[in-house]
Amino acid sequence: MRKRAEPGPREHDGFGAAPLDRDCRLKNLRLAGTAGHSKPDCDTKGMKRLSRRYGLWSRLRMFLIFLVGLYIAIPFLVKVCPAIQTQLVFLNLVRFPYFIDLKRPQDQGLNHTCNFYLQPEEDVSIGVWHTLPAVIWKDAQGKDQAWYEEIMSTNYPVILYLHGNAGTRGGDHRVQLYKVKLSVKLWILFIFAGWGDSAGTPSESGMTYDALHVFDWIKARSGDNPVYIWGHSLGTGVATNLVRRLCERETPPDALILESPFTNIREEAKSHPFSVIYRYFPGFDWFFLDTITASGIKFANDENVKFISCRLLIMHAEDDPVIPFHLGRKLYNIAAPAKSLRDFKVQFVPFHKDLGYRHKYIYRSPELRQILR
Of the candidates 233, 260, 272, 316, the residue annotated as catalytic is 233
Per-residue pLDDT of the chain (373 residues; tens, 9 = 90+): 444 444 444 444 443 444 445 554 544 545 445 544 555 566 676 666 666 777 788 888 889 999 999 989 988 998 988 888 888 888 877 777 777 888 888 888 787 888 889 998 888 889 888 888 877 878 888 888 999 888 888 888 899 999 988 877 877 778 878 777 655 567 777 777 767 778 888 899 999 999 999 999 999 999 899 999 999 999 999 999 999 999 999 999 999 999 999 999 999 999 988 888 888 889 999 999 999 998 899 999 999 999 999 999 999 999 999 999 999 999 999 999 999 999 999 999 999 999 999 999 999 998 988 888 7
- At residue 5, the pLDDT reads 47
Q: Which of 112, 130, 272, 359 is catalytic?
A: 359
Catalytic, 320? Answer: yes
Catalytic residue among 198, 272, 316, 320: 320
Closest CA to 132 of 123, 145, 121, 117: 145
Alpha helices (H) along the chain: 11-80, 82-90, 137-140, 145-151, 172-180, 204-222, 234-248, 265-271, 284, 290-294, 301-304, 325-335, 368-372
Helix axis angle, 11-80 to 82-90, nearest 10°: 90
Contact between residue 188 and residue 161 where contact means Cβ atoms under 8 Å apart: yes
| Three-state DSSP string of 105-144 | HHHHCCCCEEEEEEEEECCEEEEEEEECCHHHHHHHCCCC
Decide if 79 contacts 183 (C-beta within 8 A): no
Q: What is the DSSP letter of 6?
A: P
The answer to whether 210 and 120 have CB atoms below 8 angstroms apart is yes
CA 299 to chain CA centroid, nearest Å:
17
Compute how many other C-beta atoms are within 10 angstroms of the C-beta atom of residue 198.
Answer: 23
Sign of CA dihedral 221, 126, 202, 301: positive
Q: What angle do CA 98, 85, 202 make, to 5 degrees?
A: 55
Give per-residue burial for 288-315: e unless 16+ CB within 10 Å, then b: bbbbbeeeebbbbbbebbebbbbbbbbb
Q: CB 19: neighbour CB atoms within 10 A?
A: 9
Please say if 359 is a catalytic residue: yes
The pTM is what? 0.81
Count of CA atoms in the C-beta half-sphere (13 A) of 289: 19
Name the pairing type of β-strands 113-121 and 124-131: antiparallel
| Cα–Cα dist 359/232, whole Å | 9
| CATH superfamily, region 96-372 | Alpha/Beta hydrolase fold, catalytic domain (3.40.50.1820)
Cα–Cα nearest to 303, from 271, 275, 262: 262
Tell me if 165 sits within 8 A of 233, measured CB to CB. Answer: yes
pLDDT score of 161: 92
d(C-alpha 128, C-alpha 170), whole Å: 11
